[in-house]
C-alpha cells in the first residue's frame, strides 16, 4: 500500500491537532485542580476514571505479551506521549491504520524498513519531528505488536 505526500501532510496536521487538543485538555485539568483546593471526589474523580489513558492500555497489552516475568528496563520506561498521539491519529485515519496492520504481516526487517521510510518522510519536513521519532520507536517489536493489538482491539470494540 502506497502512501502519497498529501496523506503524510494530512497525517501531520491531524497529529498536530490531536497534540494541541491534548495540551489544552491537560491545561484545563491543571486549572480545575488549582480551582479545587480540596478534592471533593465527585465530578473530578469521575472524569479521571472515565479518561483511561491509552498508554495504560498499551502497557497492559505489553504486559500480556511479555508474561509475568520480572520487568525489563524497557518495560519500566513510560510509553512516550507522542507514540500515544500517533496511535490516536492512526486509529482515526483508515488508510494509515490499514498500512500499519498490513506491514504487521511483513518480516521484522521489512516492517522496520517501511517504518524507517515513514520516519524519513517526516524528518525531511521537520528534522526534529516527534512523529518521525514515534515511527522510530515502533521499530521495537514489542511496542509495534502492542500498537497493532490496540488498533485491532479498538476495531473489534467498535464493531
Tens of pLDDT along 113-157? 998 888 888 888 777 777 888 888 888 888 888 888 888 888 788
Give, in order, the Cα–Cα distances in Å from 26 to each of 51, 54, 66, 97, 138: 12, 15, 31, 26, 25
Q: Are the C-beta atoms of residues 122 and 135 closer than 8 Å to each other?
A: yes
145 domain-assigned = yes
Rg of the chain taking only CA atoms, in angstroms: 17
Half-sphere exposure of 73 (CA within 13 A, CB side): 0
Answer whether residue 104 is part of any domain.
yes
pLDDT range class, residue 13, cuts 50, 70, 90: confident
Can you list the positions of beta strands (E) in the chain? none
Whether 41 shows a pLDDT value over 60: the answer reads no
pLDDT at site 110? 92
Q: Does residue 44 register a pLDDT over 60? A: no
Structural domain includes residue 99:
yes
Residue at 29 is within a domain:
no
Give the domain range for residue 116.
43-158
List the grid coordinates of 4.
Answer: 502519497
**Number of structural domains the chain divides into:** 1
Establish if 96 belongs to a structural domain: yes
| Residue 75: band (very low, low, confident or very high) from pLDDT cuts 50, 70, 90 | very low
Any domain includes 69: yes
For 30, half-sphere exposure in the C-beta direction (CA atoms, 13 angstrom radius) is: 6
Q: Look at residue 1 in the predicted model and tell me its pLDDT.
A: 60
For the chain, give the mean pLDDT: 75
Instruction: Output the CA torsion sign for 87, 90, 94, 98.
Output: negative
CA–CA separation, 122 and 155 (whole Å) = 27
Inside any domain, residue 12 = no
Count of Cβ atoms closer than 10 Å to residue 139 Cβ: 16
Amino acid at each position: 500500500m502506497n502512501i502519497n505526500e498529501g496523506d503524510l501532510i494530512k497525517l501531520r496536521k491531524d497529529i498536530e491537532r490531536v497534540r494541541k487538543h491534548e495540551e489544552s485538555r491537560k491545561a484545563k485539568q491543571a486549572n480545575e485542580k488549582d480551582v479545587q483546593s480540596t478534592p471533593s471526589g465527585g465530578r473530578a474523580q469521575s472524569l479521571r476514571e472515565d479518561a483511561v489513558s491509552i498508554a495504560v492500555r498499551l502497557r497492559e497489552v505489553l504486559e500480556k505479551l511479555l508474561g509475568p516475568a520480572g520487568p525489563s528496563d524497557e518495560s519500566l520506561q513510560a510509553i512516550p506521549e507522542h507514540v500515544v498521539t500517533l496511535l490516536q491519529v492512526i486509529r482515526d485515519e483508515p488508510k494509515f491504520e490499514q498500512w500499519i496492520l498490513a506491514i504487521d504481516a511483513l518480516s521484522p526487517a521489512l516492517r522496520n524498513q517501511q517504518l524507517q521510510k515513514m520516519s524519513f518522510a517526516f524528518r525531511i519536513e521537520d528534522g526534529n519531528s516527534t512523529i518521525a521519532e514515534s515511527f522510530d520507536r515502533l521499530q521495537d517489536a514489542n511496542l509495534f505488536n502492542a500498537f497493532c493489538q490496540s488498533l485491532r482491539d479498538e476495531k473489534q470494540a467498535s464493531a
